[in-house]
């Protein structure tokens, strides 16, 4: 069906042609998305951002001080007790691990809060219709919301760098560890912020989006021990109840890789397992685990340090959630 | 004049409810079109379909020749939409709000600063530039929302109840703004409950009830269709000659009922010390030439006429005539 002749007067274009877009500077790129700019202006206005930053750093400091005190007062030396590293370096590793672990835990619960109201808040404020009648693309809206949340998360990470660097005074922390710890933190922030955006896109109300997002975060973080329990029980049951010794290699392999997958989909477990692998195998990339059965067959099961599959998993899941959010927003109301 | 908004058999159904039913309307370019109807008549649903927010169940709509179904982006480029709620961000200043929406319309940054200043001047909010949006009065927020709809210089403004909930002063301000925008060449399509606004500013009216367009056209057209006779108001300086005038009127062809009404209050031309002038209301069927001939006839008779006018269209009466009080 074509437009009626009476209404076919084409309007003069208002916006500039998109084809002749000049190269943009970094500042222009950062502020080129109107949603990012608006969100950051709103987020940083007043005392709110300052208070969030203070609470974050205070909680981090309190946790790390507590863990440090506990460590100093215990003679066992905790997990690192069996290592051959000098005491001060062990302490350095412990402080660094404590800071990063606490940061990770805080990130898991703070990041979703940055985005759970991203889209549902627009609906509640009745501004979504206004945005949808402008030329703003769904992807610009979604990416803008996510980018502003990630920018604030990045600010929290940068603000915590001095706390991380306390460990450098004691030694024992390799530069690779620092980089990987921050990759882990950023990927965690990315996937949980994306989860918040997606929940906010599909739920009409922010309350519903909050429940959905934190449900996912709890399942991903605390659900893992529950999921690992049957794997451990199965492994133990097979060893002592069925095979009266190590089960066949393929069963061990399945259990090992299942545990690996479960660990690599959980940021906290990934952090701990990555550190364990680093200390025991001195590697941040690939290593192998020897498996043997009752008949004396042995095989080296190749594995990668959990931070690699976690980063891949979080980036892929985050991108998928963003694409789904864009599709939901683009579809709009039917 | 070409139609800038056109719908053909536009229909929107929600399960069992038909919100808009087979609606075909046409809005001329440059007109101020009042879309009138009771609550639940389907006005907002129609507007949401025109603004690409809702997909019609059946039928088609075009704005400036672009299909709302197939060319939503082109439609958005030529319309400015103001819903029946404010839709403002509470954590922004007035200029940030306009700057944000101008950026959403892909207006380059160097142009935006000047544009925001011009828009604020147009809606008389320049002095509140750096205030938080939340601190504005209802009328100011409404004017700010109107400024937002103008950020990309659209051809068509689609405004849902622009004057609802405003105090009389704010209503007059919005009305004046709409007239100003019309003078700037914008086509204004707005829904309203306030029939006096329709009377005051609309060039065209569409009356919708239960999702169906009951009537459409200029106020005169509708008046002639629904009320074939004209209503003339004649004021006589000397009330004692009212009966003589009545008889003189009844001599003429086309004159129907002649009724002696209460005299108008506050007629400045009347002498305060003399008796109050008499007002005659006349139902008259005939064209403008016949009206002129009737006036000449009365003057020739030497009747002391103070005024001779055609009564304005009473939109309320028209509205009551065409609607039945049904909601969808």
Q: Is residue B320 part of a domain?
A: no
Q: Which residues pair with B209 in a beta bridge?
A: B212
Confidence of residue A23 (pLDDT cuts 50, 70, 90): low
> Is residue A309 over pLDDT 90?
yes
Nearest alpha carbon to residue B176 among B161, B159, B158, B163:
B163
Do B81 and B193 belong to one domain?
yes
- The nearest CA of chain B is from the CA of A126 a distance in Å of 5
Report phi then psi at B89, rounded to 5.
Answer: -90, 130
Closest chain B residue to the Cα of A138, Cα to Cα: B104
CB B186 within 8 A of CB B108: no
Which member of B62, B90, B91 has the closest CB to residue A3?
A: B62
User: Distance between CA atoms of B277 and B268, rounded to whole angstroms?
Assistant: 11
ipTM of the complex: 0.81
**Average pLDDT for A140-164:** 94
Contact status of B101 with chain A (Cβ, < 8 Å): yes
> Is residue A9 over pLDDT 60?
no
Q: Is residue B174 part of a domain?
A: yes
> Is residue A12 over pLDDT 70?
no
CB within 8 Å: A3 and B103: no
The token pair that represents B249 in the structure block: 């009127």
**What pLDDT does A168 receive?**
87
CB B58 within 8 A of CB B45: no
CB within 8 Å: A133 and B92: no
State pLDDT tens for residues B7-27: 999 999 998 899 999 999 999
CB within 8 Å: A42 and B60: no
User: Residue B24's domain spans which residues?
Assistant: 3-224
Q: Is residue B326 part of a domain?
A: no
Average pLDDT value over all residues in chain A: 83
Higher pLDDT, A4 or B89: B89
Do B212 and B235 belong to one domain?
no
Do B236 and B219 belong to one domain?
no
Last residue of a domain, one of B208, B224, B240: B224
Number of separate helices (H) and strands (E) present in chain A: 14, 2
**Average pLDDT for A67-75:** 80
Nearest alpha carbon to residue B104 among A117, A40, A324, A32:
A32
Do B184 and B37 belong to one domain?
yes
**What pLDDT does A15 receive?**
42
CB A183 within 8 A of CB A231: no
The token pair that represents A81 in the structure block: 């007790």
Confidence of residue A73 (pLDDT cuts 50, 70, 90): confident
Residue segments in chain B with a per-residue pLDDT below the cut of 50: 268-270, 272, 328
Last residue of a domain, one of B224, B246, B272: B224
User: Distance between CA atoms of B248 and B252, rounded to whole angstroms?
Assistant: 7
Do B269 and B220 belong to one domain?
no
**What pLDDT does A84 receive?**
53
Do B44 and B160 belong to one domain?
yes
User: Distance between CA atoms of B61 and B204, rounded to whole angstroms?
Assistant: 19
**What pLDDT does A88 receive?**
77
Higher pLDDT, A197 or A10: A197
3-state helix, strand, coil in chain A (%, to 5): 75, 5, 25
Report phi then psi at B2, rounded to 5.
Answer: -70, 150
Interface test with A, best of B82, B87, B109, B111 (most A CBs within 10 A): B87
Q: Which residues pair with B61 in a beta bridge?
A: B7
Which member of A6, A127, A133 has the closest CB to residue B6?
A: A6
CB within 8 Å: B104 and A125: no
Confidence of residue A282 (pLDDT cuts 50, 70, 90): confident
Q: Is residue B22 part of a domain?
A: yes
Helix (H) or strand (E) holding A250: helix A249-264
**What pLDDT does B295 receive?**
93
Domain borders along chain A are 31-222, 223-310
Half-sphere exposure of B280 (CA within 13 A, CB side): 31
Q: Is residue B322 part of a domain?
A: no
CB B97 within 8 A of CB B112: no
- B58-63 vs B66-67, strand pairing mode: antiparallel
Residue whose tokens read 């008389």: B124
CA angle A239, A240, A244 (to 5 degrees): 80
* Cβ contacts of A264 within 8 Å, gap of 6 or more: A270, A306, A309, A310, A313
Q: Three-state SS for B241?
A: helix
Q: Is residue B256 part of a domain?
A: yes
Q: Is residue B304 part of a domain?
A: yes
User: A244 in the Ramachandran plot: left (φ > 0), alpha (ψ -120 to 50) or beta?
Assistant: left
Q: Which residues pair with B157 in a beta bridge?
A: B80, B188
* Cβ contacts of B133 within 8 Å, gap of 6 or more: B88, B89, B90, B92, B93, B94, B97, B141, B144
- The nearest CA of chain B is from the CA of A333 a distance in Å of 6
Half-sphere exposure of B210 (CA within 13 A, CB side): 8
In this prediction, what percent of chain A has a pLDDT beyond 70?
83
Chain A residues with CB-CB distance to B83 below 8 A? 126, 129-130
Do B95 and B134 belong to one domain?
yes
The token pair that represents B323 in the structure block: 């609607």
Cβ neighbours, 10 Å, residue B229: 16
Task: Look up the CATH number of the domain holding residue B35.
Answer: 3.40.50.300
- A15: which DSSP letter? S
Q: Is residue B123 part of a domain?
A: yes
Cβ neighbours, 10 Å, residue A254: 15
Do B37 and B10 belong to one domain?
yes
- B204-209 vs B187-192, strand pairing mode: unpaired
- The nearest CA of chain A is from the CA of B41 a distance in Å of 20
Do B245 and B280 belong to one domain?
yes
Residue whose tokens read 């979604």: A142
Burial per residue of B181-210, b for 16 or more beta-carbon CB atoms within 10 angstroms, e otherwise? bbeeebbbbbbbebbebbbbbbebbbbbbb
Contact status of B105 with chain A (Cβ, < 8 Å): yes
CB B210 within 8 A of CB B328: yes
Task: Look up the CATH number of the domain holding residue B293.
Answer: 3.30.70.260
Helix (H) or strand (E) holding A261: helix A249-264
**What pLDDT does B264 receive?**
55
The token pair that represents B154 in the structure block: 């659209």
User: Distance between CA atoms of A244 and A140, rounded to whole angstroms?
Assistant: 60
Chain A residues with CB-CB distance to B52 below 8 A? 132-133
User: Distance between CA atoms of B9 and A49, rounded to whole angstroms?
Assistant: 52
Contact status of B86 with chain A (Cβ, < 8 Å): yes
Burial per residue of B6-22, b for 16 or more beta-carbon CB atoms within 10 angstroms, e otherwise? bbbebbbeeeeebbbbe
**Average pLDDT for A131-145:** 94
User: Distance between CA atoms of B143 and B156, rounded to whole angstroms?
Assistant: 17
Specify the number of domains making up chain B: 2
Do B217 and B238 belong to one domain?
no
Do B76 and B24 belong to one domain?
yes
Report phi then psi at B264, rounded to 5.
Answer: -65, 145
């Amino acid at each position: 069906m074509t437009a009626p002749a009476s209404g076919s007067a084409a309007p003069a274009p208002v916006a500039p042609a998109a084809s002749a877009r000049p190269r943009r500077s970094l500042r222009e790129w950062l502020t080129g998305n109107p949603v990012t700019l608006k969100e950051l202006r709103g987020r940083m206005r007043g005392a709110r951002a300052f208070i969030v930053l203070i609470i974050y750093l205070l909680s981090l400091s309190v946790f790390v001080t507590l863990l440090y005190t506990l460590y100093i007062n215990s003679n066992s030396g905790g997990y690192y007790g069996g290592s051959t590293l000098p005491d001060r370096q062990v302490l350095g590793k412990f402080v660094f691990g404590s800071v990063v672990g606490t940061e990770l835990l805080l990130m898991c619960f703070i990041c979703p809060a940055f985005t759970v109201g991203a889209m549902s808040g627009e609906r509640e404020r009745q501004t979504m219709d206004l945005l949808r009648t402008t030329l703003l693309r769904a992807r610009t809206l979604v990416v803008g919301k996510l980018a502003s949340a990630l920018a604030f998360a990045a600010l929290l990470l940068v603000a915590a760098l001095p706390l991380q660097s306390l460990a450098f005074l004691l030694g024992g922390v390799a530069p690779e560890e620092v980089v990987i710890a921050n990759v882990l933190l950023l990927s965690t922030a990315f996937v949980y912020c994306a989860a918040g955006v997606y929940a906010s896109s599909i739920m009409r109300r922010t309350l519903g989006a909050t429940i959905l997002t934190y449900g996912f975060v709890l399942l991903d973080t605390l659900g893992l021990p529950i999921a690992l329990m049957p794997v451990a029980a199965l492994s133990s049951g097979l060893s002592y109840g069925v095979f009266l010794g190590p089960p066949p290699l393929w069963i061990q392999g399945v259990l090992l890789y299942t545990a690996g997958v479960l660990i690599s989909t959980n940021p906290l477990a990934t952090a701990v397992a990555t550190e364990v692998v680093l200390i025991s195998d001195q590697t941040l990339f690939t290593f192998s685990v020897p498996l043997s059965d009752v008949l004396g067959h042995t095989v080296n099961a190749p594995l990668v340090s959990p931070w690699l599959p976690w980063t891949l998993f979080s980036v892929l899941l985050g991108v998928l959630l963003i694409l789904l959010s864009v599709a939901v927003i683009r579809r709009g109301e039917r | 004049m070409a139609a800038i908004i056109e719908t053909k058999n536009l229909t929107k159904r929600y399960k069992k409810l038909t919100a808009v039913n087979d609606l075909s309307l046409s809005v001329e370019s440059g007109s101020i079109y009042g879309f009138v109807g009771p609550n639940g008549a389907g006005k907002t649903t129609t507007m949401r379909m025109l603004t690409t927010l809702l997909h019609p169940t059946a039928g088609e709509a075009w704005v400036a020749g672009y299909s709302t179904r197939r060319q939503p982006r082109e439609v958005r480029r030529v319309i400015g939409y103001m819903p029946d709620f404010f839709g403002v961000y509470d954590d922004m200043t007035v200029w940030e709000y306009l700057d944000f929406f101008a950026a959403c319309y892909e207006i380059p940054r160097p142009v935006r600063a000047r544009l925001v200043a011009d828009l604020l001047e147009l809606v008389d909010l320049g002095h509140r530039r750096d205030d938080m949006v939340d601190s504005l009065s209802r009328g100011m927020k409404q004017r700010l929302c109107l400024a937002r709809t103008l950020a990309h210089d659209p051809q068509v403004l689609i405004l849902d109840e622009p004057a609802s909930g405003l105090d009389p002063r704010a209503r007059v301000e919005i009305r004046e703004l709409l007239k100003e925008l019309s003078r700037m060449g914008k086509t204004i399509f707005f829904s309203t409950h306030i029939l006096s606004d329709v009377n005051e500013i609309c060039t065209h009216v569409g009356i919708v009830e239960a999702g169906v367009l009951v009537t459409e056209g200029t106020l005169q057209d509708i008046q002639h269709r629904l009320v074939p006779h004209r209503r003339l108001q004649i004021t006589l300086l000397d009330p004692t000659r009212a009966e003589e005038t009545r008889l003189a009127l009844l001599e003429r062809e086309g004159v129907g009922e002649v009724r002696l009404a209460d005299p108008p209050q506050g007629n400045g031309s009347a002498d305060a010390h003399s008796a109050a002038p008499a007002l005659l209301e006349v139902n008259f069927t005939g064209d403008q030439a016949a009206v002129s001939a009737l006036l000449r006839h009365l003057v020739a008779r030497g009747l002391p006429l103070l005024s001779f006018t055609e009564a304005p269209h009473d939109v309320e009466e028209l509205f009551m005539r065409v609607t039945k009080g049904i909601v969808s």
